[in-house]
Chains A and B, each alone.
Chain A
Amino acid sequence: MSVDFSRYKNDFPILKRKVRGGNTLIYLDSGATSQKPEIVIEAEANFYRTKNAAVHRGAHLVAEEASEVYEGARENVARFIGAKSDEVIFTKSATESLNLIAYSLGNPESKFHLNSGDEIVVSEMEHHANLIPWQQLAKRVGAKLTWFKITDEGRLDLSDIDKLINKKTKIVAITHQSNVLGTIVPLAQITKAAHAVGAVVVLDACQSVPHFAVDVKKLEVDFLAFSGHKVLGPTGIGVLWGKAELLDQLEPGLFGGSMVDSVSMQGATWAKAPRKFEAGVPNMAQAVGLSAAVDYISEIGMDKVAQHEHDLTKQLISGLQNISGVQVIGPVDMKDRGGVVSFTVDGVHPHDVGQYLDQFGIAVRTGHHCAWPLMRRLNLVGTTRASFHLYNDESEVKVLLNTVSKIKDYFKVSK
């Protein structure tokens, strides 16, 4: 059943502003960061107005209230992804989440950790944030990094999964949905293979959690990371979710206040998860803002958001396919495909495509999208990427298509 999404647009103050050329902003860059509804901006500001105090310390009322809303945010975010509250660690970003887990898994003090000769599996379509931490971990411990290739269509190539995921494999770190191609990966096959050899699966859910219903219990992954700012929440807040029994076995990556059980001059012991992974005063207002964001989006319904983005994606892909000299980069089949659409325009560099669209108020991302190895694999210098969220609509897709169709003329590219 289709839902009228037009009423939600008004909730996002920035979408009313004028940009270049006197145009109203058409924001098609939610894959990079989403816009924020007023209710999130208010929640963050109100924390500072009424509850600002360092959580988990202080004997005063405001500190108690701050702790209550901060832990309330944790419970709420946990519920949003089907997790237990103690399994949700707040970080500053998804990048930090992935680095933290890579660091902890490389710490020989962790009960579950990597040794020299172990293998880490990633894929060719990873964002740098889910690639470089694993490259670095492999280098630190002398492990080997291997990867899934992609097919020409932009799907994950699972043909060598049995070879890739073997007895030496300790970690499989994979994106849920490519931030360039929109491909949603076939997780079930991967988790099954990984668990059969005793490896853990780390899921980069930056492009999935904000756009469709994700339940960690159903996914059967072991760790999952996403950023608050892509799910209509503030910047400066990210989530690392991990299975409780695994978090218990891991050493923290950051040390300091708040994360300890006991400290002497000689050493320290750690609090239980999630506290042991949250050293220092956390980003409290941002956690509260994220909580408001997941409330907001849950009330609309993740399935409806997903359907809405699916419709827009379908409209965009079929429209782009009808413009001569324009190539969609990534699957054109809507099965297991999210609301991120990369494309190229023959003879016009992506940066110039983006600049042209900007003149008409259309904000897109251009370049390698922090997935340089994928660009090399695709033999491209970059792409132009339009990505959706719930505030986008059909008329914006039409404006985009109409504007894209004029680019080649503007740059006087023949064909």
Chain B
Amino acid sequence: MELDSLYQEVILDHYRSPHHKGLSADKDIQVHHNNPSCGDEITLNLIMDGMLVKDISWDGVGCSISMASASVMSDLLIAKRYEEATKILGAFIELMQSKGQSQGDEVMLEDGVAFAGVSKFPARIKCALLGWMAFKDAATQVIK
């Protein structure tokens, strides 16, 4: 059914066993983002080493899409150069805006392509972007 395109097995796996969940003791910055329409919340710690994303850790409450997406985001962006992380972020946003027309670049987005189906459900795009936007906010603040 149509729903299976949203709830890919990969997504449910990340939801049940999220990666990098649990806030690190050290941090360069901590940001808190929420989605006031549904109440999802995320707190994200970022550690940068110059222009290298050294560590991302997070904690939050939310639906499977928002939590799994934060998990995938952390996997993808840790140990990437800031420029590369920004490219991946851009690719993920583009995938979310694709209205079901894009499969996503598997080389760049890895598990992130599982979220392609989310783009067909307008109400869920914000869920999928919650963690990514928290990262963007945190990184921008550290870099500037």
Q: Digitize A313-351: 1 where CB-to-B-CB distance is under 8 Å, 0 elsewhere.
A: 000000000000000000000000000000000001111
**Contact partner of B63 among A20, A351, A410, A412, CB < 8 A?**
A351
Asked whether, in the complex, the Cβ of B62 is within 8 Å of the Cβ of A349, the reply is yes
Shortest CB-to-CB span from A347 to chain B, Å, is 9
**Contact partner of A21 among B2, B37, B124, CB < 8 A?**
B2
Asked whether, in the complex, the Cβ of A356 is within 8 Å of the Cβ of B38, the reply is no
- Cα-based distance from A351 to B130 in the complex (angstroms): 14
Give chain A's interface residues, CB within 8 Å of chain B: 20-21, 348-352, 355-356, 359, 366-368, 372, 375, 381-382, 410-412
- Cα-based distance from A350 to B38 in the complex (angstroms): 9
Asked whether, in the complex, the Cβ of A351 is within 8 Å of the Cβ of B3, the reply is no
In chain B, positions 45-82 with a C-beta closer than 8 Å to chain A are 61-65
Shortest CB-to-CB span from B118 to chain A, Å, is 10
Asked whether, in the complex, the Cβ of B2 is within 8 Å of the Cβ of A382, the reply is no
Shortest CB-to-CB span from A236 to chain B, Å, is 21
Asked whether, in the complex, the Cβ of A411 is within 8 Å of the Cβ of B7, the reply is yes
In chain B, positions 23-59 with a C-beta closer than 8 Å to chain A are 37-40
**Contact partner of B1 among A21, A366, A368, A381, CB < 8 A?**
A21
- Cα-based distance from A352 to B16 in the complex (angstroms): 13
Shortest CB-to-CB span from A308 to chain B, Å, is 30
Shortest CB-to-CB span from A104 to chain B, Å, is 28
Contact A355-B124, Cβ < 8 Å, known A411-B7, A412-B12: yes
Asked whether, in the complex, the Cβ of A411 is within 8 Å of the Cβ of B39, the reply is no
Asked whether, in the complex, the Cβ of A411 is within 8 Å of the Cβ of B64, the reply is yes
Asked whether, in the complex, the Cβ of A367 is within 8 Å of the Cβ of B39, the reply is yes
Tell me whether B127 is interfacial, beta carbon within 8 Å. yes
Tell me whether B113 is interfacial, beta carbon within 8 Å. no
**Contact partner of B121 among A21, A355, A381, A411, CB < 8 A?**
A355
Asked whether, in the complex, the Cβ of A351 is within 8 Å of the Cβ of B12, the reply is no
Residues of chain B with a CB closer than 8 A to A382's CB: 38-39
Tell me whether B109 is interfacial, beta carbon within 8 Å. no
- In the complex, which residue of chain B has the Cβ closest to the Cβ of A412? B12
Asked whether, in the complex, the Cβ of A359 is within 8 Å of the Cβ of B61, the reply is no
Task: Report, nearest first, the 5 A-B pairs whose CB atoms are least far apart.
Answer: A351-B63, A349-B63, A359-B3, A367-B38, A368-B39
Asked whether, in the complex, the Cβ of A375 is within 8 Å of the Cβ of B6, the reply is no
- Cα-based distance from A39 to B142 in the complex (angstroms): 59
Asked whether, in the complex, the Cβ of B38 is within 8 Å of the Cβ of A366, the reply is yes
Asked whether, in the complex, the Cβ of A411 is within 8 Å of the Cβ of B12, the reply is yes
Name which of A21, A356, A382 has the most chain B CB atoms within 10 A of its CB.
A382
Shortest CB-to-CB span from B48 to chain A, Å, is 30
Residues of chain A with a CB closer than 8 A to B38's CB: 351, 366-368, 382
Asked whether, in the complex, the Cβ of B3 is within 8 Å of the Cβ of A356, the reply is yes
- Cα-based distance from A12 to B25 in the complex (angstroms): 57
Shortest CB-to-CB span from B42 to chain A, Å, is 12
